[in-house]
Amino acid sequence: MPQTAASVSTTESLDTELARAAAVPLPEADRLAGRFPVTPHPLPATQAQRAQALGDLHFGRVFSDHMAHARWTRDGGWDAHEIRAYGDLTLSPAAAVLHYGQEVFEGIKAYRHDDGTVWTFRPRYNAARLNLSCRRMALPELPEEDFVASLVDLVRTDVEWVPSGEGESLYLRPFAFASEAFLGVRAAELVDYYLIASPSGAYFPNGLKPVSIWVTQDYHRAGRGGTGAAKTGGNYASSLLPQRLAAEQGCDQVCFLDDVTGDNLEELGGMNLMVVDADGTVRTPRLTGTILEGSTRSAILRLLLDAGRTVVETTISLEGLLEGIASGKVREVFACGTAAVVVPLGRLRGDGFDVTIKGAEVTHEIHDRLTGIQYGRVPDPYGWMYRLV
């Protein structure tokens, strides 16, 4: 699309380390397959059990028959790559992750297209982000192609666990943690990487439903120099109390402000934020080091820009947002992330304010555009989709 005046904007995020990594082509799945040799589950779910599980999908409770695993030692590097039966782990009670939280994770989905093929979305983005998180958490990096190979080998092994209903997917959860049995405080010298898979239903089976948000002024998700840009369990642990307090206020989710001024919007516990103005401009908090750089956020910025919109990464103050909603300058606010895709915000509450947001037109538009690409209903001009099976 030609560069029009309307598409001039400050979208630093289209050229971050993750965006650049995601753009490097991957070998076809056939060439990566086999890096994680399969030891089949001795007693996999029967077809009837699987059909029952796939017939009543929620999120994160049911898991496929297998999991991928590799182990890292300081002396030997990554080794022992395998696909084996999904099951409980044996872990020393002294494993460092249980005490010091040295852990990272990812979230990515496998989508079944109408022709039966199975695809994933920008896997190299998640591979690079896992490594960015690993660096921050002093964990060893996993070669990006091995990360993608684990997706290929697990999804090929458990392909029958990829659901085919509207909005359904096989949610993939890669994670790595310090398994060394040692209570000394230093980076672990024994680390395990796993990938598990959970068939999941549409986040909004009956169409996008606006959620209510509690903006916390008492707690922050991340601070300068902290771990906010890493996908690590500790960030989620620290969000659980404010999330519970938000729920006690009758809100669905909690939104965090920056810790320096306490004025500016950052993100939800696990989703990035976007604001749509009445003039069609879309604004999102810029990446300051305390915000997690979402793959969904990145893709949406690209789609909006290519649709000719003005897209701005900037500072968004809570006060300015509330004024904008009151004056009609702000039409829509939505959150975005892999699990839920796009979530319209219908109500913003906090100490001393309670406002409703009615619009969701651009939110729906972007949801349909992005899921259209992910489910193969429309062409993918970006090469975002990667065929697994």
Ligand X SMILES: *Cc1c(COP(=O)(O)O)cnc(C)c1O
> Interface with ligand X by CB under 6 A: which residues?
107, 231, 267, 270-272, 292, 294-297, 337-338
What is the enclosing helix (H) or strand (E) of 283?
Answer: strand 282-285
Smallest distance from ligand X to CB 126, Å: 7
**Residue with Cβ nearer ligand X (271 or 362):** 271
Q: Rounded to the nearest 10 degrees, what angle do helices 123-136 and 144-157 cross at?
A: 120
Q: Closest Cα partner for 238 from 250, 226, 252?
A: 226
CB of 190 to ligand X, least distance (A): 25
Measured from the CB atom, the residue of 157 and 296 that comes closer to ligand X is: 296
Q: What is the DSSP string of 20-53?
A: HHHTSPPPPHHHHTTSS-B---SSPPPHHHHHHH
Give the tokens for residue 261. Answer: 């001024």
**Shortest distance (Å) from residue 107 CB to ligand X:** 5
- Determine the residue type at 153: D
Cβ at position 295, least distance to ligand X in Å: 3
How many Å separate Cα 1 from the centre of its chain? Answer: 28
Nearer to ligand X, 157 or 295 (CB): 295
- Pick between residue 54 and residue 172 the one whose CB is nearest to ligand X: 172
Distances (CA, A) of 169 to 12, 63, 136, 214, 279: 30, 12, 30, 29, 35
Q: Write out the two tokens for 277.
A: 């103005």
∠ CA 114-375-21, nearest 5°, is 135
Cβ 238 to ligand X, closest distance in Å?
11
* CB closer to ligand X, 294 vs 359: 294
Q: How far, CA to CA in Å, does 285 sit from each of 86, 328, 336, 379?
A: 39, 20, 13, 29
Coil, helix or strand for 372?
helix
Cβ nearer to ligand X, comparing 96 with 229: 229
- Rounded to a whole number of angstroms, the minimum distance from the CB of residue 271 to ligand X is 5
Q: Let me know the angle formed at the C-alpha of 120 by 119 and 125, rounded to the nearest 5 degrees.
A: 150
Shortest separation between residue 45's beta carbon and ligand X, angstroms? 28
CB of 304 to ligand X, least distance (A): 15
Q: Give Cβ neighbours of residue 76 (< 8 Å, ≥ 6 apart).
A: none
Q: Give least dist CB 83 to ligand X, A.
A: 24
The β-bridge relationship of strands 211-216 and 253-257 is: parallel
Name 387's bridge partners: 119
Q: Which is nearer to ligand X, 78 or 233 (CB)?
A: 233
Q: What is the C-alpha to C-alpha distance for residues 225 and 73, in angstroms, rounded to an integer? A: 28
Between 231 and 283, whose beta carbon lies closer to ligand X? 231
Whole-angstrom Cα Rg for the chain: 21
Looking at the DSSP bridge assignments, the partners of residue 47 are: none
- CB closer to ligand X, 120 vs 338: 338
